[in-house]
Structure formats: structure tokens, C-alpha cells
């Protein structure tokens, strides 16, 4: 049985960046496990731990020695290993020397490609304790740290100065140096409650020792759970529930080693402000959880977390209340000042803000978006005047004090200010929902004016940025075009809209006045859109060959594409599907190899099977015509599936490429007619069996 031990590594630092702590912790674990795998060391489980002052990994049941192995080194071919006189050639002798062996120690390896000289050497596995230090160093060097720093007189670099390093394999310390610090078993407890050195007896004592003796909860997920539960309980104590967003929950967990909830209060007059303003102020500036009532409105309370068990918690509460008051007062001032000027009166100020140097100002963008929004509204049979009004006001809240302070409230403040100005509710809602969906899987706009504005805004940005040559590459997508494009597709598909994205793209491109290659840009944007559509379809459970089958039919309406791919996926479950897919592939190959153009006119046919197929194909063509008009592709494919027996009989009994030219042309025309019926929906020949 292979001997194992548990491994603990902990790196103690100055306070680590809270927004990247969880990412660093997971990356460290991933890197260490990758290093162990590369070294051929088996283990049972790896866990990552992290607090503001430490990164740690615990590996259970790690193999104590590498397994012995045979290293094989291949040399020259056997046919080149001997000279004419039968003695070893210089190549063979040189290979043996390079292996530190004699020619007699070489062996012969037989392969499909010939025989080769080979040297096999047994290599004894190294001790895991000898390998670990280098694995740890490489793991730290490969962490995703944007900017490293130095401290003191050391040459070592890390995201923060390092103060201690624990490295235990079982109960034994692995003596080495990590980032200029000698390893040991001494950790540090809570900065205020237990700052003294603390000995870790063995890796499995790590969590218990820290929590029981030094008020440190090293498990990041455990701290998040404790904070969530404590916040909910504290909110319930004041008659509400905590408004908890995952990003803030994670950040608070990254700021506290021993989180203690504190409930604070603020003046109820601030509840007159939009709740989003209060939530943003408390979350972004103060890292507080707001408290909501049962209806979703806010209560004049907040929950914060102290990283200490204070003997005077009231002083912590009062200190936080004093700090949040000026923040809320600023927000109140912005709200009152902004409402002194209507959004409509801010339109001209958009001329002072450049959207992009080739695409002009925000005012220029507003005019382009208005043109697109009107077109989309017409197609949706929506109120054109309201669509145009919404587009006119779409970016005006960017010129307000509130959005200048809290950029994430763009759109939201547009809604509130529009309502305060007496704008139509559909216009106000559109100002907010133009940015939907805000995140992956987020809600898409559904109201017609909102849809028109959201699509117009995103299509203008997509077309414009591509026309300016700023095409996303790799991870670089500063204008969030991937998100915008996915938003376009989701809005159209999930609302079931019969909108042609290529038609809308052409209108958008026609509105730009700068010099660019329209044809080239158009093709690049179309490719970009359909690449995003591919990703969307695959995420929804459709396969690549199903996507390719529909793409071959060149549909330019995303919802139409969506209906086709649903139909294709359903079709391939039918017992006739595999045979028809193979037949269509055969038909396409026959038509491709035809030396003359295939006629659309079917002349005389002689065999019973081909006459029957023609009759069946004519009948199916008539039956699917109304179904195609209704975009009911599933029923259409079900109807075409009924052709299988006739198609099989045709190929079993009829030779297409007969010497009779007229008959051959008629048969080719019949196959083309049949293939085109399927191609009106998708190229099912692309379906893999």
C-alpha cells in the first residue's frame, strides 16, 4: 500500500486585495494540484483556504514518494545502427554514449513504422518532500497578479509583503525558503485578538487551531455562510430582511477573519430617495448590507461587519452611522439638484461628450439610435413617437450628478428622472431597460418601446465599433460587444420577434459618415453575430452539427433560426432521420459532381420508384408550403420524414447517372427538388449519425 501524508502550505501576508482574494486562493490550489499531477504524485483531495492575511492549501493523503519508473529514450533506426561490416555505426555508438551506456545495453524497439534502438533506464522516484518546495514556488509565481511588489531589501516579489510561511508534510516541517521567508510551523492569529505566533502541530489541526485559539475562520466559504446567516438574523431582529448581493458578500468575507455583525440606522428622510441610490451608496461606498421590508422597499437600517469582537459594540455602530450620513446627504443633494433640470433640457449637452472619435459625440449616437428605434418600432407595430422620444432621452442621465457619482445607476436614474419630468411610463421604462440584460442570464426587456431602444442602442454600438476597426480580440473587448451581441440575440429570440438582424445592421451601417469599408465591415459583423448565436445555441443544449445544419440555410432572423434548430433537434429523434440525413448527403454529392447545370424542370421518368418519389415530393411540397409561411418547421420536417421509404426505394432501384442524358437530367432535377425542400429549413446532411 502506498504511504501517504497530508500537506499544508500557508503564506502569511499583509492584507490581500479583497476583490481578488478568492481568485488568488483558487488559483494557488489549482497550480499546486497541477504541479503534483505533473510530478506523478497521487492525492485524495485538495482544499483552498484564504483570509485577508493568508493563502493556504491543504492536500489530503498525498503520496510520500514518486513511483519508480522506466525512462525510455529512442535512438537511431536499427537499419542505421550497423555498418557494412556488422559493427555498430557511429550514430549508434554516439547514442549509447549520450545515454551513459554501452552499445550492448541498448535494446530494440519494434513499431509499425520500423525498428529502433532504445535505451531503457530504471529511475527511482523522488521523495515528495524534496519536490514540494519547487512546486510551491512555481505555483506562487504563476498566480494571476497584475502588479507585484517588493519589500525591504529582498528581491522577492508578491502581491503584498510576506511575513510567515507554514509548510508541513504530516507532522514534519519541510525546511525551505519561500519568497524570502524560512518555512516552519508557526502561523499568526487574528491581528488584534491573537497576534502572537501559533504552532500548527499537523495539517489536520490547521482549521481547528486557528478558530479555537486565534479567532480566525480560514475557510472562505464557511465565512461567507456565517456572514449571510448573521446578516439575515440581524435584519430579522429589526423587522426586515438583508439585501445580499453575492459580489458584496464575497468582498466582506475577504475583509474579515472573524466577522461580527453590527446593525446601524439612518434618518428615515433618506427613504424618499430611489432605493437603488441608497443601496448603491451603502454597498459601494460603505460595504453595508441594506435592509428591506417584505414588499421590497428599504428600511432605515443597515448591517455591517466588524473584524473584531468589541467590548463596546455601540461605539462601532455609532461610528458607522456617522460615516454613512454624509454619503447619504451627498446622494440627497444630487437627487434634488438633478431634478431642477429636465432630461430633455440636457440633450444639447450630449454634444460635449465624445462617444468614439470616428463615431462622433453622444448626441450623434442619439440621432443614429433614434433612426434605428423608429424602424424597429415600425416593424413591431409600436408607438413610433414614443420610441423616438425614448431614443432622444436615452443618454441624458449620463449628464446628471447622480450618474456622475454612481456610474452603475445609468438607466436607473433615467427612469426616475423621466418619471419626475412627467414622461410617458413606456419612455421612462425604456431608459432603464435599454441596458438589459445587464449580466449573463439577466432579464431582457419585453415592453415594445424598451425592446426598440435596447436593440437600436446595441446594434448601433456593434456596427459602429466594428466600422471604426476596433474588433474584439482575445480577452480584449472594451466596448463589451460580445455582451451587446448576445443581448441583441436574446431580446429577439426570447421575445419571439420576427426581426432580421442583417437588415437592421445594414441600416445601422448606412448611418455612419466616416470612411470605412462597408462590405468588409458588414461581413465581419455578421460573422461575429453568428459566432455569438452559436455559443448561445450550444449553451442551450443544441449540438454543433444541428447549428451547422441550420446555418447552411442562411436564416437572418434569430428567432427564425431558433425555431429551425429546435425543429432539427426534434427531427433527429425520429426513426427516419438517420436514413434521410444520409440520403441528403448522397443527393448533395451527386448534384455537386454533375457536369451540367441541373434543370428545374423534371422531364419524363420511367421507373415506378422515381415516379412514386416525384408524386410524394410534389405532395410534400404542397403540404409544407403553409407550414413554412408560419415558420412551423417542426411539422414541416415531420412531413418530410414521411418521404423516407420513397427515397430509400429510389436509391435501391434507380441509377441516377444513366447514359440517357434526358433521363439523367430528369433524375437530377428530381433530387434537386427533393433536396431544396429540406434546404428551405436546414441542411440535414450535416447531421452526424
Q: What is the pLDDT of residue 593?
A: 81
pLDDT in tens, 302-356: 999 999 999 999 999 999 999 999 999 999 999 999 999 999 999 999 999 999 9
| Domain shared by 249 and 319, yes or no | yes
Is 158 within a domain? yes
List CB contacts of 587: < 8 A, sequence separation 6 or more: 671, 674, 675, 685
Tell me if 468 is assigned to some domain.
yes
Between residues 73 and 328, the one the model is more confident about: 328
Cα–Cα distance, 313 to 322 (Å, whole number): 14
CATH code, domain carrying 675: 1.10.730
In a domain, 550, yes or no: no
Q: Return the pLDDT at 50.
A: 98
Q: How far apart are CA 160 and CA 158, in angstroms?
A: 5
pLDDT band per the 50, 70, 90 thresholds, residue 1? low
Residue 557 domain-assigned? Answer: no
Q: Give the CATH number of the domain where residue 150 resides.
A: 3.30.70.260
Task: Give the total number of structural domains in the chain.
Answer: 5
Same domain assignment for residues 86 and 161: no
Q: Which of 308, 338, 368 is the last residue of a domain?
A: 338
**Which of the listed residues 285, 308, 338 is the one where a domain comes to its end?**
338
Name the average pLDDT for the chain: 93
Q: How far is CA 82 from CA 74, 114, 293, 642, in A?
A: 16, 15, 90, 69
Query: Does residue 74 carry a pLDDT above 80?
Result: no
- Compute the distance between CA of residue 412 and CA of residue 441 in angstroms, rounded to an integer: 19
One domain, residues 271 and 317:
yes
Mean pLDDT of 416-445: 96
For residue 92, being part of any structural domain is answered with: yes
User: 528: domain range?
Assistant: 344-541
Domain boundary (338, 364, 391) is at: 338
pLDDT-based confidence at residue 101 (cuts at 50, 70, 90): confident
Instruction: State whether 372 and 509 are in the same domain.
Output: yes
Q: Are residues 250 and 168 in the same domain?
A: no
pLDDT band (50, 70, 90) for residue 439: confident
CA distances to 207, 283, 458, 484, 507 from 406, rounded to whole Å, are 40, 11, 22, 21, 34
Residue 246 lies in a domain: yes
pLDDT at 680 over 80: yes
Mean pLDDT of 349-372: 97
Question: What is the arithmetic mean of pLDDT over 94-117?
Answer: 77
- Confidence category of residue 449, pLDDT binned at 50, 70, 90: very high
Q: Do 317 and 368 sit in the same domain of this protein?
A: no
The domain that holds 478 is classified in CATH as 1.10.3210
412 and 438 fall within a common domain: yes
- Band (pLDDT 50/70/90 cuts) for residue 93 is confident
Cα distances from 303 to residues 52, 89, 183, 321, in angstroms, run 20, 82, 39, 11
**Residue 598 pLDDT exceeds 80:** no
pLDDT at 89 over 90: no
SS (H, E, C) 172-194: EECCCEECCEECECEEECCCCCC
Predicted local confidence at residue 152, as pLDDT: 85
Which pLDDT score, from 0 to 100, does residue 108 have? 77
Distance between CA atoms of 358 and 518, rounded to whole angstroms?
Answer: 14
Task: Please tell me which residue, 639 or 656, carries the higher pLDDT value.
Answer: 639
Same-domain status, 515 and 394: yes
What pLDDT, on the 0 to 100 scale, is given for residue 595?
A: 65
SS3 280: helix
Residues 461 and 417 in one domain: yes
Is the pLDDT assigned to residue 26 strictly greater than 80? Answer: yes
pLDDT over threshold 70, residue 441: yes
Domain match, 145 and 26 both: yes
119 phi and psi angles, rounded to 5 deg: -115, 125
Question: Of 527, 639, 628, 623, which Cα lies nearest the Cα of 574?
Answer: 639
Distance CA 248, CA 242 (A): 12
Cα–Cα nearest to 278, from 290, 269, 268: 290
For position 484, what pLDDT does the model report? 97
| Distances in whole angstroms, Cα of residue 95 to Cα of each of 109, 110, 123 | 15, 18, 19
Asked whether residue 56 falls in the same domain as residue 156, the answer is yes
The whole model's pTM is what? 0.84
In a domain, 38, yes or no: yes
Instruction: Kindly list the distances between the CA atom of residue 295 and the CA atoms of 299, 569, 570, in Å, as whole numbers in the listed order.
Output: 11, 43, 43
Q: How far is CA 363 from CA 367, 394, 415, 632, in A?
A: 6, 10, 19, 43
Provide the grid cell at 304. 455591517
pLDDT digits (tens, 9 = 90+) for 253-298: 999 999 999 999 999 999 999 999 999 999 998 999 999 999 999 9
Residue 324 and residue 300 share a domain: yes
Q: Is 552 within a domain? A: no
Residue 260: exposure state from Cβ atoms within 10 A (0-12, 13-18, ≥19): middle
> What's the whole-number mean pLDDT along residues 25-43?
96
Amino acid at each position: 500500500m502506498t504511504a501517504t501524508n497530508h500537506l499544508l502550505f500557508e503564506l502569511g501576508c499583509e492584507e490581500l486585495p479583497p476583490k481578488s482574494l478568492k481568485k488568488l486562493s483558487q488559483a494557488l490550489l489549482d497550480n499546486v494540484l497541477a504541479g503534483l499531477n505533473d510530478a506523478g504524485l497521487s492525492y485524495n483531495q485538495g482544499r483552498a483556504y484564504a483570509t485577508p492575511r493568508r493563502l493556504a492549501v491543504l492536500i489530503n493523503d498525498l503520496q510520500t514518494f514518486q513511483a519508480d519508473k522506466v525512462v525510455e529514450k529512442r535512438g537511431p533506426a536499427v537499419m542505421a545502427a550497423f555498418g557494412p561490416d556488422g559493427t555498430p555505426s557511429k550514430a549508434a555508438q554516439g547514442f549509447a554514449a549520450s545515454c551513459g551506456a554501452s552499445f550492448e545495453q541498448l535494446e530494440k524497439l519494434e513499431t509499425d513504422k520500423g525498428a529502433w534502438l532504445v535505451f531503457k533506464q530504471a529511475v527511482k522516484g523522488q521523495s515528495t518532500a524534496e519536490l514540494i518546495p519547487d512546486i510551491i514556488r512555481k505555483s506562487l509565481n504563476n498566480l494571476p497578479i497584475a502588479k507585484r511588489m517588493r519589500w525591504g531589501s529582498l528581491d522577492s516579489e508578491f502581491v503584498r509583503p510576506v511575513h510567515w510561511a507554514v509548510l508541513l508534510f504530516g507532522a514534519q516541517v519541510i525546511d525551505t525558503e519561500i519568497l524570502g521567508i524560512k518555512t516552519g510551523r508557526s502561523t499568526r492569529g487574528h491581528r488584534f485578538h491573537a497576534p502572537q505566533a501559533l504552532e500548527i502541530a499537523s495539517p489536520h489541526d490547521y482549521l481547528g487551531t486557528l478558530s479555537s485559539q486565534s479567532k480566525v475562520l480560514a475557510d472562505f466559504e464557511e465565512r461567507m455562510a456565517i456572514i449571510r446567516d448573521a446578516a439575515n438574523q440581524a435584519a430579522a431582529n429589526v423587522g426586515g430582511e438583508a439585501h445580499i448581493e453575492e459580489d458584496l458578500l464575497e468582498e466582506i468575507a475577504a475583509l474579515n477573519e472573524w466577522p461580527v455583525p453590527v446593525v446601524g440606522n439612518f434618518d428615515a428622510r433618506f427613504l424618499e430617495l430611489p432605493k437603488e441610490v441608497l443601496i448603491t451608496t451603502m454597498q459601494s461606498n460603505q460595504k453595508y448590507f441594506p435592509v428591506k421590508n417584505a414588499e421590497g422597499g428599504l428600511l432605515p437600517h443597515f448591517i455591517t461587519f466588524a473584524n473584531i469582537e468589541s467590548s463596546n459594540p455601540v461605539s462601532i455602530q455609532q461610528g458607522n452611522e456617522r460615516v454613512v450620513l454624509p454619503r447619504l446627504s451627498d446622494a440627497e443633494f444630487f437627487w434634488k439638484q438633478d431634478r431642477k433640470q429636465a432630461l430633455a433640457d440636457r440633450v444639447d449637452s450630449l454634444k460635449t461628450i465624445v462617444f468614439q472619435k470616428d463615431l462622433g459625440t453622444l448626441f450623434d449616437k442619439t440621432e443614429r439610435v433614434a433612426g434605428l428605434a423608429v424602424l424597429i418600432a415600425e416593424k413591431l407595430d409600436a408607438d413610433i413617437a414614443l420610441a423616438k422620444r425614448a431614443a432622444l432621452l436615452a443618454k441624458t442621465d449620463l449628464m446628471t450628478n447622480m450618474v456622475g457619482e454612481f456610474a452603475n445607476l445609468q438607466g436607473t436614474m433615467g427612469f426616475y428622472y423621466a418619471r419626475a419630468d412627467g414622461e410617458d411610463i413606456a419612455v421612462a421604462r425604456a431608459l432603464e431597460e435599454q441596458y438589459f440584460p445587464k449580466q449573463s442570464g439577466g432579464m431582457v426587456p419585453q415592453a415594445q418601446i424598451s425592446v426598440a431602444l435596447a436593440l437600436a442602442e446595441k446594434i448601433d454600438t456593434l456596427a459602429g465599433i466594428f466600422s471604426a476597426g476596433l474588433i474584439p480580440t482575445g480577452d480584449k473587448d472594451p466596448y463589451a460587444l460580445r455582451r451587446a451581441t448576445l443581448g441583441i440575440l436574446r431580446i429577439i429570440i426570447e421575445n419571439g420577434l420576427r426581426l432580421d438582424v442583417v437588415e437592421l445592421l445594414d441600416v445601422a451601417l448606412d448611418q455612419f459618415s466616416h470612411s470605412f469599408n462597408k462590405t468588409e465591415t458588414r461581413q465581419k459583423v455578421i460573422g461575429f453575430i453568428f459566432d455569438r448565436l452559436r455559443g448561445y445555441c450550444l449553451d442551450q443544449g443544441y449540438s454543433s452539427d444541428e447549428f451547422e445544419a441550420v446555418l447552411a440555410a442562411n436564416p437572418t432572423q434569430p428567432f427564425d433560426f431558433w425555431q429551425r434548430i429546435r425543429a432539427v433537434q426534434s427531427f433527429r429523434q425520429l426513426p427516419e432521420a438517420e436514413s434521410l440525413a444520409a440520403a441528403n448527403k448522397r443527393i448533395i454529392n451527386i448534384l455537386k459532381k454533375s457536369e451540367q447545370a441541373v434543370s428545374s424542370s423534371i422531364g419524363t421518368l420511367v421507373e415506378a420508384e422515381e415516379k412514386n418519389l416525384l408524386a410524394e415530393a410534389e405532395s410534400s411540397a404542397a403540404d409544407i408550403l403553409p407550414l413554412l409561411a408560419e415558420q412551423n418547421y417542426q411539422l414541416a420536417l415531420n412531413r418530410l420524414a414521411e418521404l423516407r421509404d420513397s427515397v430509400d426505394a429510389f436509391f435501391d432501384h434507380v441509377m441516377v447517372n444513366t447514359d440517357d442524358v434526358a433521363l439523367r437530367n430528369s433524375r437530377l432535377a428530381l433530387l434537386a427538388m427533393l433536396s431544396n425542400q429540406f434546404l428551405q429549413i436546414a441542411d440535414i446532411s450535416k447531421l452526424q449519425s
